[in-house]
Structure 1
């Protein structure tokens, strides 16, 4: 009796072909996603650097006469309310909206005024009791970079294009890591330094892979925190689910305005989880004891109360409507403070001086806490070290994008103008790789809808071509 067994023959060529087909499909997705994403990544990196360096570097160069004051010996500064009144008298047709406390003795007081639809930032010398100058807050280099960064100056349509780019970046990162894994080199120290001695496209690929690998985790965090500001995935889904519930104000009357109305013009200052929450309203007997009843409720008393109760540097939003409130707001995402765990928003009734709401970091839900930490990290506001690291990371992203463009251009057939240079995959077996776009599409519905429309369009186009050949 023959009890020996024969080892089944394996079709190694078929296995290699299937592996190559899967690799080519990853490469194709990575390339196609990159062709859309790269222009946006370059734009976001450049505008991000401008926004991060504006306050510490660019603003002092452009407006040196506005951003510094000299304290006078033996002379105290005029009061906060006197500064507000000074600005009111200089802009009688305007509405004073906000007062930003200075960082130090050399920093002027900045007061925001809205006049004839223009958001003015007025610089006040508190020692001499005079106005230094004013700027259109929506026409600064920072405001321009912020608008391009968020909407491409195209409103909701531009916001949607950027949201799609951010979502496609998820596919770009996943496929890039899988391509690295498929081609990884097993020698020790490979991830510590790139391979030297390569030339041309191979050298660009080596540096693209090396830099992209180390940037992938950080870029993923940038994308997720940035997506939370988008108009669909951010505002309609994540932010709406994570907003601070108005019901916790415990019987406090609510205004028909949300916290987002406190944002001055194009810049966003209100903490992410409070933007969609209604503001408390002044004019009732509700609230907790705050400013003593015999003390006038104005900028002086509100700032004094906030400082006596633990707030240091913050911006005071003044009431602009009969039911408006005084709002002292300190948020790391504005650069008011550098510690996001000290975020705080204090609302005070303009008539009674009672505390209508006092919301701090501990009151946020889990996702809102993550955003309170993630947004200032994203913006380089968590100290000087965070700023330097973010600038280096943005420069790294720019390099990876440029390296990717050079690699694609060198591979692209020179005699075929409309050929994208993407590798083809003859295998029709999708396998587990199809989960990459499916999962990313489910995570970001705008991406899912776009991928579905693209798939339907390509299927229709292919069938028309096939029928024409019959």
Structure 2
């Protein structure tokens, strides 16, 4: 019995050493990215407040209006196009309230998409900026792709996958064993044992407190990613979980389709992984209307205003000769989103898409996305998400300090492999399962295993290059 107990402890120690090694290697890989992504995500949480501040600043600098009667939306569009010659309308963000001073129009010229704020009462241009260079647009690209496009989004997905590894291995390493659980959650944050012991206790406590929230944010962000998100899209199509229609990319044909009909075209998910400049999907909806004048922009706005959709509300013009007007609430709280398509010729409603029209799987993921953006339950969601982002930064900083204080001088101090390099079957199955669920993680694990194996073989072949490593934390 005693020998079996000793054998069990030895096995547990070897497993502990191996998981510590994985935790260390994952930390070296992701710490800079974790700090960058957390900081950019924390900033993006406050997009609604920033936009309100930005608009208030623009309105404060505007001259007093000579009239209190708002100009028609067609007149405002014409004024914006005179200020941006050779441009075409991309979208209009409608005023949040009747008292709002300006209307926001996005116009595309030969070089870029520009956002123009036009005074609703005088038609005067109040402010102009490139849409992709505004702070929140820049922050979103930094958070989603490190400003590197599709390649950057792959890096972000890889880092998020490794952050999951960090959380799981960290929980295993710090889980209370032989001590009261409350001692791990509420450690004595004193300098007893040295500065490294202080940072180590703080690192473990923050990890235990926030691991669940961090994991939830990481998992809720996966639908945005390239590989995992693309695979999830394929599963949705295969299982028939698609939504009721493409909000932006679909081109309905204005005609005689009954109001309230929900189309069946493949569409963008509620978390907007697609782009609105791709090839439009055509959904036939009856014969084209007679060659009469189309509805004016102001007439469509008049139809939309009584709907009182949650702001911000975007209006996009018809595509092609017989497309439709598309109006969509773009509130970050996705369960409140609603999309309406209006006939170009008559102004009649030909399609309405509500949150309830989506498959339960899409609705569930959308709740997670709203939580990820701090929009699901107001300011409290923003606060919790901010604290979680700060916790990631704190874990990154404290973990780096612990490593720096522990490492041998002039070396990385990579924890050694246990003498018995074998991996328990259960752990092997778990690693393979994680690699399949997170493909980029699986590929990187395979690459690291090959590199680690080659390095170990080289060290055994050239014993002089072998260095001693640190003890367990």
Q: TM-score range by the shorter chain?
A: 0.7 to 0.9
3-state SS of paired residue (1:380): coil
Find the counterpart in structure 1 of residue 286 from structure 2. Answer: 285
Query: Contact 1:286–1:356 at 8 Å: present in 2 too?
Result: no
Query: Contact 2:327–2:340 at 8 Å: present in 1 too?
Result: yes
Find the counterpart in structure 1 of residue 211 from structure 2. Answer: 216
Cα pair distance change 1:33/1:365, threshold 3 Å: same
3-state SS of paired residue (2:417): coil
Any unmatched runs of 5+ in structure 2? Answer: 255-262, 464-473
**Inter-partner Cα distance in structure 1 for 2:139 and 2:20:** 33
Query: Contact 1:285–1:352 at 8 Å: present in 2 too?
Result: no
Report whether the alignment pairs 1:137 with 2:131.
yes
Find the counterpart in structure 2 of residue 126 from structure 1. Answer: 120
- Per the TM alignment, residue 284 of structure 1 is displaced from its structure 2 partner at its CA by 5.8
Query: Contact 1:348–1:357 at 8 Å: present in 2 too?
Result: yes
**Aligned residue among 431, 443, 452 for 1:458:** 452
CA deviations on 1:278-299 (whole Å, 9 max, x unpaired) are 8565996369x9xxx9995232
1:315-394 mapped onto 2 (5 Å cutoff): 315-333=314-332, 338=333, 340-382=334-376, 383-394=378-389
**Inter-partner Cα distance in structure 1 for 2:40 and 2:59:** 23
Any unmatched runs of 5+ in structure 1? Answer: 1-7, 261-269
- Per the TM alignment, residue 405 of structure 1 is displaced from its structure 2 partner at its CA by 0.6
User: TM-score if structure 1 supplies the norm length?
Assistant: 0.82
- Per the TM alignment, residue 112 of structure 1 is displaced from its structure 2 partner at its CA by 0.5
1:294-309 mapped onto 2 (5 Å cutoff): 297-309=295-307
**Inter-partner Cα distance in structure 2 for 1:384 and 1:180:** 32
**Inter-partner Cα distance in structure 2 for 1:205 and 1:43:** 22
**Aligned residue among 403, 428, 433 for 1:408:** 403
Query: Contact 1:121–1:135 at 8 Å: present in 2 too?
Result: yes
CA RMSD of aligned residues (A): 3.6
Cα pair distance change 1:22/1:59, threshold 3 Å: same
> Which deviates more from structure 2 when the two are superposed, residues 73-82 or residues 167-176?
73-82
**Inter-partner Cα distance in structure 2 for 1:36 and 1:357:** 48
**Inter-partner Cα distance in structure 2 for 1:155 and 1:273:** 16
User: TM-score if structure 2 supplies the norm length?
Assistant: 0.81
- Per the TM alignment, residue 403 of structure 1 is displaced from its structure 2 partner at its CA by 0.5
**Inter-partner Cα distance in structure 2 for 1:23 and 1:156:** 37
Q: How many residues get paired? A: 440
Query: Contact 1:96–1:114 at 8 Å: present in 2 too?
Result: yes
CA deviations on 1:399-450 (whole Å, 9 max, x unpaired) are 1110011011111111x43x34324322233113334432221111121122
Cα pair distance change 1:21/1:234, threshold 3 Å: same
1:77-96 mapped onto 2 (5 Å cutoff): 77-96=70-89
> Which deviates more from structure 2 when the two are superposed, residues 165-174 or residues 233-242?
233-242
- Per the TM alignment, residue 65 of structure 1 is displaced from its structure 2 partner at its CA by 3.0
> Which deviates more from structure 2 when the two are superposed, residues 234-243 or residues 142-151?
234-243
